[in-house]
Amino acid sequence: MIRMNKYLLAFLVISFVSVFFLGTYVGVYKIFPYEFLDSTKEFLLEQKTIESNQFINQANVDYLIKIDTKSDIDQKRDFLTEFFWDVGSLQRVKDKSQLPEVESDISDSNYKDLQNLSRIDRLTVEIEYGVNSISYLFIPERSNEKLILYHQGHGGDFLLGMDTIQFFLDRNFTVVAMAMPLLGMNNQPIVEIDGLGQIKLNSHKQLRLLETKNFNPMKLFVDPIQINLNFLDKEYNFKQYSMIGLSGGGWTTVVYSAIDERISNSFSVGGSMPIYLRVAERDMGDYEQTNIDLYQNVNYLELYILGAYGDDRKHIQIFNKNDPCCFSGNGYETYELVIKDKMLQLGKGNFQIFIDDTHDEHKISDTAREFILETIN
């Protein structure tokens, strides 16, 4: 027994010393698994910071919402169209709008393996400063006469959303896929700015340099969507439009569904939280997510309500519980019930939050897609 205890003690001492020196070596030379351990530490510290700063409760949130009646809804929407387009109503925007340039039945090897696909049409929208927006319209062989507008985020090309595109094609939806300005297949033009010279636009942070008395660069995020929808209205007879966006595309979904009631169902995945919850630097977002001229007039809570309000309309936020990118945690609990109560008061529309705890990634998971499909149907 004494000999066994000596062996056990020796084993423990050797193990402790080995782990100590291995840990020191990993820390000094930053070899595997240094990056994993370091990122895990930062994530846990950030979560602690978030939890310690979430002092806002539901009673505090209610005063931020200046929507009580249908008239308030209309005034907020009119502000949005004035803000983005300098026109007082969406109908006037549509009346003045162009249509996209359409190239039918294109060939793109990236999508050659998609199933239930009849053809792909390329939609190109030209906007101010030479900025363009290239979208793909995926037309299924068998159609249920419903359309999904899929919007990619800051990750870049909507090719990253291939799984979501295929998921809905398999279920006979038509899908139009879009990317944010300057990302994916969209161009990055060189522009001349008074007093600054020529600048190549390759970041959303640069867009504030385009702000003038007569032009709001925030328009670049929403104008291609309304132009594409105008084309779809003209050429097709879809029974329903639903919009799904991931990350920056989720932000786009929040904003655009607040403007346009043609979007019946909107699903923002890891896309936004109110500014008061953005205590972690990674959650602050780009230029478009913190534009003070927008959010002091229509804040995020009000955008959620506008996206949900209307006959047979739903706005649903999907958060990945352990998202390594953004908007993880339980901050949504500070406003979820407040907005649900507000929707009951208004009498039209539905707001919901869905927490996806099936993975630890920044993505639209199989679980989320099934939930979206069930909600749409």
Residue of 226, 5, 182 lying closest to 94 (CA atoms): 226
Q: Are 198 and 189 in contact (CB under 8 A)?
A: no
For residue 230, give every residue at least 6 positions away whose Cβ sits within 8 Å of its Cβ, in sequence order, or none.
94, 97, 99
For residue 187, give every residue at least 6 positions away whose Cβ sits within 8 Å of its Cβ, in sequence order, or none.
130, 131, 132
Q: pLDDT (tens digit, 0 to 9) for every residue of the chain, 377 residues total?
A: 555 556 555 665 566 656 555 556 545 555 556 454 454 444 444 444 444 444 555 557 889 999 999 999 999 999 999 999 998 788 888 888 889 999 999 999 999 999 999 999 999 999 999 999 999 999 999 999 999 999 999 999 999 999 999 999 999 999 999 999 999 999 999 999 999 999 999 999 999 999 999 999 999 999 999 999 999 999 999 999 999 999 999 999 999 999 999 999 999 999 999 999 987 777 788 899 999 999 999 999 999 999 999 999 999 999 999 999 999 888 999 999 999 999 999 999 999 999 999 999 999 999 999 999 999 99
Distance CA 66, CA 35 (A): 45
Q: What is the pLDDT of residue 6?
A: 61
Q: What is the pLDDT of residue 282?
A: 73
CATH code of the region 65-376: 3.40.50.1820
Structure token pair of residue 94: 């549509």
Distance CA 49, CA 45 (A): 6
- This prediction's pTM: 0.85
